[in-house]
Amino acid sequence: MRTALLPGRPARPEQGAADRGRRPGELAERVFRIRESGILVVLIVFVGVTTAVQPRFLNLSNIQFVLIDTATFALLALGETMVVISRNVDLSIGSVVGLSAYLSTQLFAQHQGISIVVVFLAGLGIGLACGLANGIMVAAGRVPSLVVTLATLYIIRGIDILIVGGNEVTAASLPNAFLDIPKDTIAGIPTLAIAVAVVVAIGWYYLRTFRSGRDLYAIGSNPEAARLAGIPVGRRVFTAFAVSGAIAGVAGVLWGAQYGTINSTAGTGYELQVVSAVVVGGVAIFGGSGSVVGAALGALLLSTISSALYVLGISPFWDQAIWGALLLLAIALDQTITERLTSALRLRRTRHE
């Protein structure tokens, strides 16, 4: 039976032809976009349930606290995402935060009237030096990033303890303008959270638009294939670690502004929460997929959970247990998605051959 065609309207292609013309990457991208949307849904449901149990959870001061707390983790998640996408991991960021927080804020006491911008640049330089060291050992030395950054986690923390000793930087030695950074708001929204959101948006645009950003996805998907395709794998991985370290250095300065009192324990355990936020946010721990926006949503979810535990009167020691459980769940989910996606693409390819 012949189907009549409407004037001026082209014939609709068969579904098989449409599937043949569709890039396999579109299916993967759609799956992981749904994953990110799922995080947002979970976050909304969690906030709703917590508010129903304890209405003060949703008051303005607590929302501002969550956003400020999330800002630092979302910033760290940006650098960690670049590393994880390339099939690596940076476990040293917590120690870098601690070292940067102490050394940079100590400049206020050592040099009266020093500019806040100079202090931030100092923190960036400290973090960049640590990131460069990690990048050289991973990219040039071909040492697994897990081994390198686990070692530098303890090395940098040890250096921090030796430098700090029993001393600490107190809020009394810091200028009010510096301590007010996390407190400033625009229409009730912390300025710091807005600034970090802009930085995350820039990071998202870079990874999706610039060739060097897209190369990280190719490296994470298949390092050997990326190398054969002419991608400078070593240079890209080195850059990712350098950026992660620099961001951790800046985050250390923000940590000092947020808490005011800095000692040798600053930033301890941050690596677990940041890696958890990145993986829970949909960035595959095996590399090659995920986005900065998803990682930021993961950071927001974990910060919200921590705040909810406090408001509900539950021991904060449950934080790390929950982060670890979510990390395992996210890795298991990623593995399941990857296996089913691979099977679906293989089946589609077989049908069209």
49-63, 64-78, 315-329, range with the lowest pLDDT: 315-329
Looking at residue 319, its pLDDT comes to 74
Q: How many other C-beta atoms lie within 10 A of the C-beta of residue 76?
A: 33
2-11, 81-90, 122-131, 296-305, range with the lowest pLDDT: 2-11
pLDDT at 224 over 80: yes
Measuring CA to CA, how many Å separate 281 from each of 41, 153, 177, 215, 326? 12, 23, 33, 21, 10
Residue indicated by tokens 């606290």:
65
Both tokens assigned to 213: 């950003």
Distance, in Å, from the CA atom of 331 to the CA atom of 139, rounded to the nearest integer, reads 25
Mean pLDDT of 283-299: 89
Mean pLDDT of 29-38: 65
Fold for the domain defined by 31-340: ABC transporter involved in vitamin B12 uptake, BtuC (1.10.3470)
123-137, 233-247, 266-280, range with the lowest pLDDT: 266-280
Helix (H, G, I), strand (E, B) or coil at 86: coil
Percentage of the chain exceeding pLDDT 70:
85
